Amino acid sequence: MKQSKRAQIHMSETIAVLFIFFILVLFGSVFYYKYSEISFKQQQEEMFAKRAIDTTTKTLFLPELLCSKGESGAEQFCVDMTKLRSAETVFNNNKGYYFGMFSYANITVQQIYPEVVDGGVDTWIVYNNLKPDTTKIEPTYFIVTLKDETHQSEGKPSYGFGVVKVEVYS
């Protein structure tokens, strides 16, 4: 009898040890899963921020918008208004191609100065591709010169003050 009880107690002890061991393993697994989830979300955030910067960089150096000075090359941080006015149509008609460049984003150019009279256009949508179930929007702003050669003064083009807004959707 005594031996049988001892054996039972021994078996119970072993089962208890195993039970606690697996409980601890379970806690470890849950913790590791949570850690991985947080790490993954952090990585997603960083990738999203990187995409915002890459999209802004590409926008600011688009040959479709950049001002040019003949053979001298492009003027930095300058948007050619004669190109800008047709950019929306061209980008819209070729959305598939530009999606490869910008993905889900909204890129607009707004003229701050000179102020536009009522009824005039002061904001041009360069590219707009809204993601159906957006969870996050990251806007980046940049100031640019707006060069308009069709509004000349003494043979020189007029320069406005504008903002490029690049919104990246997640």
Partner 1 sequence: MSSRNKGQMEMAGLVVIVILITLGILFMAQFALKDEPSKKIFTRKELAASTMAALMKTTVVDCTGGPTQFPQIEGDLLDDCAVWGNEYSQYVCDGQPSCSFLHTKIEELLGETLGVWGKKYHFVSEKVSTGMSVFEEKIEGLNGNCEDRERDTSGDFYLPSGDGLVRSVLYVCE
Partner 2 sequence: MKKTKQGQIQITFHWIYVAIAGAVILLFFVGVVVKQKAVSDEQLSFEVIQIMESIFTAAEVSESTKNTLDISGLANLPFFFSCENGISEFGIQDQSSRVQNDIDPLFSMKTIQAPRLVLWSLPYKLPFKVIDFLFIIPSNMKFIVLGENDFADEFIDTSHDDNILLNIDVTQVNTLSDINPGMSSHIRLVIFDGNTPPNIIPDSLLFTFPDEKVSAVVFRGDNVQYYQKSGASWIADGQSVPLIIVPGERQAAKYAAVFAGDREMYLCGMQKAFTRLKYLSAIYTAKIAEIVEHYSTKTDTICYSEFTSIGRNNIQEVLHYYSIDVNLCNEGIEVLQPQSCVPLMSTAVTLMAMNNDMQNSNCISVY
Binding region for partner 1 (CB under 8 A): 6, 13, 17, 20-21, 24, 27-28, 31-32, 34-35, 38-39, 42, 45-46, 49-50, 52-53, 56-57, 60, 76-78, 112-114, 140-145, 153-154, 158-163
Strand order in the sheet with 123-128: 66-68, 74-80, 137-153, 156-169, 105-113, 123-128
What SS3 state is found at 44?
Answer: helix
> By CB under 8 A, what part of segment 31-60 binds partner 2?
47, 50, 53-54, 57-58, 60
Cβ distance 126 to 106 under 8 Å?
Answer: no
Question: Which one, 114 or 136, has the nearer CB to partner 1?
Answer: 114
**Within a 10 A sphere around the Cβ of 169, how many other Cβ atoms?**
19
Cβ distance 144 to 126 under 8 Å?
Answer: no
95 binds partner 2 (CB under 8 A): no
> Of partner 2, partner 1, none, which one does residue 134 interact with (CB within 5 to 8 Å by kind)?
none
Residue carrying the six token digits 């915002």: 52
**Which pairing describes strands 74-80 and 137-153: parallel, antiparallel, or unpaired?**
parallel
Contacting positions for partner 2 (CB under 8 A): 3, 47, 50, 53-54, 57-58, 60-61, 63-64, 66, 68, 70-71, 73-74, 80, 82-83, 85-87, 89-90, 93-94, 97, 100-101, 149-150, 152, 155, 157
